[in-house]
Amino acid sequence: VTVRAQAARVDALAAAAAHAATLGYGPPPPLAGVKRDASKMTWPVSVPNDCDAQHPVTAFGGHGAGIHHDRPLPVGESLHKKEAIFGALRMFVEKMKTKSDEMRQAHDKKYGFPACFAGDNTVIEKVKGTTQISELKLGDAVLSVVDDTLVYSVVTSWLHREPEFEWQPKTCIEVEALDDSEEECRPLLVSADHLVFIRDKGATAAKKIRSGDVVRRVSGIPALPTAHWGQWVSGKLQEEGMHPYARVLSDIADTVLSAGDVSSPGDRRCYWHGDRCPSWLVVPAGSKGGGAVMQFTSQQLCGGARYKPTCRIGNWCEEVELNDLRMKEYVSKKEGGDLLVISKQLMLERALQPSVAKLKGNEGTLRNGDTVMLRNAASECFLSGNAEERIPGRKSTAYAVTTG
């Protein structure tokens, strides 16, 4: 993260230099930490009268005499001054781009493919079998997906354990949630582009979360799990056949990000943690006791593409467009509380059966226990026991499908 943040800063400076060149400004200031020549910058010019030539390029070089003098450029040579500035800026930009590329290559060579996961997520290790990410050791081989093929990728390092590791401002979001079993909050650090489910917005980058946004948490987990940033040689991590955070959750509660200062133990609010990055306290809507957690999606982990309305199912994490296989929400009141509990299930519309399901027998009629193959999915799904029960507020022609 440190190296990539520095590389991004180099890119930004190079872009600023290029923009300045288009406006006719002088060369940009040097990078912080880079020594600057104490001598004043002057323009090399030839001996007097050389500028009277038809093509006064000699203002920047003699006719082989090798004798030059330093003097301010006259107003009439503004065109050559701009050309010199453009040339200097071009050299600066190319130098910065080269430095940026070298930094990224060095980072990738040392750390490999980066991905962040919760420490209590389980993965399949080649020798140990199913194990938690927090228990992985360097050299362990973890089941991953590379070009739609299952392979074992070696854990090469733990980025958050590296001595030079640090979170750069504006490159990370620090989320804190109160653990009912502990007095202090436990932070979860995620990249600024890490996607979070937000009410009415869908999957939203963490950097775009604002005070008052309603986010989703997993019910029954009192605090945020410790974040583990594992580095793999290649591929995307697999978790028991599905990517972390890709499950169809059966019990999701809503939580709210509130704003302000921490004024009392019962008033959990947002505050800024020094000059580093925004730190959020996540609390249940209408609750004064805290204890909320956030549920992050696997959208980036499953391919890094920009979020689109698809759901991910099966061992290969393939996509099924929601215009065919629709993810619907069944909302009910939680007993004895103010929160709405959202139960998500895959709903297979009867009218869309020919295009999205390949039935095995039973003459085209879906029944409990039937096995169906969803289009673009590599795994089978099974109709749940309540598939034919009428769900309040939904048409009776909708079937609930649970992945097996």
CA–CA separation, 294 and 173 (whole Å)? 13
Question: Quick one: pLDDT band at residue 79, thresholds 50, 70, 90?
Answer: low
Output the pLDDT for position 322.
31
pLDDT at 200 over 50: yes
pTM for the model stands at 0.26
Assess whether pLDDT exceeds 60 at residue 255: no
- Higher-confidence position of 195 and 319: 195
Q: Give the chain's mean pLDDT.
A: 46
Structure tokens at 389: 């029960």
Most confident option among 157-171, 196-210, 269-283? 196-210
Q: In the chain, how many H helices and how many E strands?
A: 3, 25
Q: With 50 as the cut, is the pLDDT of residue 106 above it?
A: yes
Q: pLDDT confidence of 195, banded at 50, 70, 90?
A: low
pLDDT at 144 over 80: no
Res 143 pLDDT > 70? yes
Q: Report pLDDT for 179.
A: 41
224 pLDDT higher than 50? no
Tokens of 377: 């999915």
Question: Is domain 122-227 annotated with CATH 3.40.50.300?
Answer: no
Q: Does the structure show a pLDDT above 80 at 67?
A: no
Beta strands in 350-397 (DSSP E): 357-359, 371-374, 380-383
Task: Give residue 199's pLDDT.
Answer: 61
| Under 8 Å between Cβ of 191 and 171 | yes
Higher pLDDT, 13 or 220: 13
Does residue 287 or residue 14 have the better pLDDT? 14
Half-sphere exposure of 354 (CA within 13 A, CB side): 1
Label residue 91 by pLDDT band (50, 70, 90).
confident
Write the DSSP string, 260-279: S---BTTB---EEETTTEEE
In order, the DSSP letters of 275-342 are TTEEEEEEEETT-SS------B-STTTTT-PPP-SEEEETTTTEEEETTTSEEEEEEEEPTTSSPEEE
Average pLDDT over residues 333-362: 34
Q: Work out the pLDDT band at 14, boundaries 50, 70, 90.
A: low
The tokens describing 110, both together, are 């040392």
Per-residue pLDDT at 16: 58
